Chain A
Amino acid sequence: MIMTYLEAIADAMRQEMRRDPSVFMIGEDIGTYGGAFKLTKGFLDEFGPGRIMDAPISEAAIIGAAIGASLNGMRPIAEMQFIDFITNGFNQLVTVAGTTAYRWGLPVPMVVRGPSGGGVGGNPFHSRDPENWFVHATGLKVVCPAFPADAKGLMTASIRDNNPVIFFEHKGLYRKIKEDVPEGEYVVPLGQANVVRPGKHVSVICYGSAVHMALAAADTLSADGVDVEVVDIRTLVPFDEETVLASVRKTGRAVVAHEAVLTGGFGGEIVARITEKAFRYLDAPVVRVAAFDSPTPFAPTLEAAVLPNAEKLGQAIRNVVAF
């Protein structure tokens, strides 16, 4: 069935809520209003206020209550109205959720999800790509889907996972892309990268919105005879190192791309793994393409300038190929 990225996420949550009475949602304006992006439209009617809980503007309480409920047999899905507001619940995730398995050996099956990403004039407070903060936190799984079908399959897997999962939905993709999404139960296991476009000359390792930049750049470059392989890692934790290394061993060249800011981004980790484990295969230095190290600015001219795009990525790929 053809679905948008947003519809696919909703489809996964709706199916899991039908299947498993322990799944419930908590967040701001998710009930009657159906969520700031209308992602949970119709959920209140189907599942009732006991399972679609409108919460006060209290991200720490929302995430903390989700942790407590997950310790007591439930599988909560906590919505951040914008993922930027996850900062207000940071302590709950980093201090409590991410350490519980290690300290107590108890499952914390919960998903914290919400719209992330820039390119939509969101201003510095509605545009963040903060996924790598949580990679560094330990004990949290980090999911960044790029396609509707993956979004559905990864959401299903995230809800069923026994660990805290943070699910980053790129808001720019919500209604922009449509594709055929498997109907019914559909699981994409966490920790499996996907070669979304096979190629011979250079690997682009990326996730989220950067996957679409990479595919666009690959189309452009193919006219010049450059055959680009695009690897969508899909989940940062767990990280499918093997698929990435296999791609780089094959092509001998790599560009790493993400929309999040450059310094301290997950791209640095990917580069480190490649140089540690596939150095002998490299014909060129690995290059990163990412946002300028600033908050995401508001005006379209500034925002377009600091964020990566297909052209910037395309140029980086050319440079690596020409090295």
Chain B
Amino acid sequence: MTKQRRNDKATQTWSLPAAERLELLRMMIMAREFDAAMLRLYRQGKAFGGVYSQLGNEAVSVGTAYALDRTADVLFPMHRNIGAHFVFGQDLDTLMVNHLARAGSQMRGTDGTGHYADPAKRIYGNVSHLGAMIPVAAGFALASRMRGETCVALTYIGDGGAQVGEVHEALNFAAVQRIPLVLVIENNQYAYSTPSHLEFACEKLSDRAIGYGMAGVTIDGTDVELVLKTTQDAVARARRGDGPTIIETLTMRMRGHAEHDDFSYVPKEQLEEWAKKDPVERYAERLITDGVTTAESVAALRATTLADMIAAIDRAVELPWPDASEGFRNVFIDEVSA
């Protein structure tokens, strides 16, 4: 069951400087080419851990993170938000070393993928347990407020993960305390193999906001400027002290849950329908039409971005695994300072 697009008129009266539009495109291309590079690694049999494509989610990750203040706010990304890491200034080598759990990883080999935390870049990754980090993100923002600072915490959850009990507790708590939290519910129609109608019975996941006493909106998640504008509004609301917002973004997970999954349970027509709304292609076309860039520049950007990704991955793959002694360190923090 494909949900209808809503609210796509909001961007008509709103304009963004050309440089920023180009930056949004560049970030989305980075997200897309990251996928391509990881897929290549997977096919070479060199990927370690699951490869979770974010294909189709570029506009959500990039548009939401772009609305934040990288020096004051905080990002709690999930497994399909690689674009948000780029917006928050994560460099390719750090990202790949962390992802592939090689020596020098910020997680010392204890974990991999996008699960790392980089406090200097204000990125706190996820744990596998869906929904578990939402109360943590709320508490992070609450702590800043206790010190008289404003820090908006932005985090994500899927159409499946949104059914975890901790999500409810976190949202209610954040609403009661008017915590500056923005929760992006990425409704990409599937949770692993489970279609949305077996995950929830409400029409829109943002309708839950009413029950919590917070703002909620459902938008087309393939339109990066709409995502950005909507998130800016939510962030402004949070900063004013008017509490959290749920933004439900409608997209399609264009590949399997992870690369081992052939997603044969997804009807072909559904994929074809959504392919017409490809967020990266569409935005590139729009910027070309508006004279902000040219087809040649976009093609060149994609090629160099992919080459950069592959080079960073190749550098990371060549690195040794972390020393086995790391497995016995840091269970408690005292061992860090010792």
Partners in one complex: yes
| A interface residues, Cβ below 8 angstroms from B | 24, 50-51, 53, 55-56, 58-74, 76, 91-92, 95-96, 99, 101-108, 138-139, 141, 162-163
B136 on interface, CB distance cutoff 8 Å: yes
- The answer to whether A56 touches B172 (Cβ under 8 A) is yes
- Selecting from B111-119, B182-190, B201-209, B287-295, the interface stretch reads B111-119
A70 to chain B, nearest CB (A): 8
Q: Is the beta-carbon distance between B170 and A69 smaller than 8 angstroms?
A: no
The one of A55, A61, A72, A162 in contact with B143, judged by C-beta atoms closer than 8 angstroms, is A72
Stretch in B3-11, B23-31, B277-285, B325-333 with 4+ CB within 8 Å of A: B325-333
Q: Size of chain B's interface in residues, with CB distance under 8 A?
A: 45
Per CB-CB distance, the 9 closest pairs between chain A and chain B, nearest first, are: A64-B135, A68-B139, A65-B139, A72-B143, A61-B169, A68-B140, A69-B143, A58-B169, A61-B173
| Residues B110 and A103 in contact, CB atoms below 8 Å apart | yes
B115: nearest chain-A partner, CB-CB: A103
In the complex formed, the residue of A with least CB distance to B147 is A73
Interface residues of B in 95-136 (CB under 8 A from A): 106-108, 110-111, 115-117, 119, 124, 127, 129, 132-136
Q: Which residues of A contact B153 (CB under 8 A)?
A: 68
A138: chain B residues at CB < 8 Å are: 331
Q: Are B166 and A61 in contact (CB under 8 A)?
A: yes
Q: How far is the CA of A69 from the CA of B134 in the complex (A)?
A: 12
Is B224 part of the contact surface with A, judged by Cβ < 8 Å?
no
B296 in the interface, Cβ–Cβ < 8 Å?
Answer: no
- Residues in A with CB closer than 8 Å to B144 are 72
B299 on the A face (CB < 8 A): no
Of B137, B170, B331, the contact of A139 (CB 8 Å cutoff): B331
CB pair A69 B334 closer than 8 Å: no
Asked if B210 is an interface residue, CB under 8 A from chain A, the answer is no
B333 touches A96 (CB 8 A): no
Q: Is B92 an interface residue (CB 8 A)?
A: no
Chain B residues with Cβ under 8 A from A67's Cβ? 135-136, 139
Given contacts A61-B172, A64-B166, A104-B116, 6 further A-B contacts (CB under 8 A): A24-B146, A51-B146, A64-B133, A64-B134, A64-B136, A96-B133
A25 to chain B, nearest CB (A): 12
**A56, A68, A70, A106: residue with the most chain B Cβ atoms closer than 10 Å:** A68
Query: B140 — which chain A residues lie within 8 A by C-beta?
Result: 68-69, 71-72
Q: Which residues of B contact A59 (CB under 8 A)?
A: 169
Is A66's CB under 8 angstroms from B332's CB? no
Chain B residues whose CB sits within 8 angstroms of the CB of A163 once the complex forms: 332-334
B336 within 8 A of A: yes
Known: A64-B136, A106-B119, A162-B334. A99 touches B127 (CB 8 A): yes
**Interface check B165, CB cutoff 8 A:** yes
- Closest CB in chain A relative to B117 CB, distance in Å: 4
Flag if B138 contacts A101 (CB, 8 Å): no
Contacts A/B (CB < 8 Å), 10 sampled:
A60-B170, A61-B135, A61-B170, A68-B138, A68-B141, A71-B136, A71-B140, A96-B133, A139-B331, A162-B334
Closest residue on chain A to residue B136 by CB atoms:
A68
Partner of A60, one of B107, B127, B169: B169
Complex contacts, A66 vs chain B, CB 8 Å:
139
Report B-chain residues with C-beta under 8 Å of the C-beta of A71: 124, 136, 139-140, 143
| Contact status of A64 and B110, CB under 8 A, knowing A69-B139, A104-B117 | no
**Cβ–Cβ contact B143 & A74, under 8 A:** yes
Smallest CB gap from B334: residue in A: A162
Contact of B332 among A24, A95, A141 (CB under 8 A): A141
Task: Assess whether A103 is in contact with B107, with CB atoms less than 8 Å apart.
Answer: yes
Residue of B nearest to A65 (CB): B139
Check if B142 is an interface residue, CB within 8 A of chain A: yes
- CA of A58 to CA of B165 in the docked complex: distance in angstroms? 10
A59 CB to closest chain B CB (Å) equals 8
Residues of B close to A63: CB separation below 8 A? 135
With A64-B132, A95-B127, A139-B332 already in contact, the answer to whether A73 and B143 are too (CB < 8 A) is yes
Q: Which of B145-172 contact A (CB under 8 A)?
A: 146-147, 151, 153, 165-166, 169-170, 172
Nearest-neighbor residue (CB-CB) of A73 within chain B: B143
Known: A104-B107, A106-B119. A91 touches B334 (CB 8 A): no
Knowing A68-B139, A69-B140, say if A91 contacts B116 (CB, 8 Å): no
Is B166 in contact with A68, judged by CB distance below 8 angstroms? no
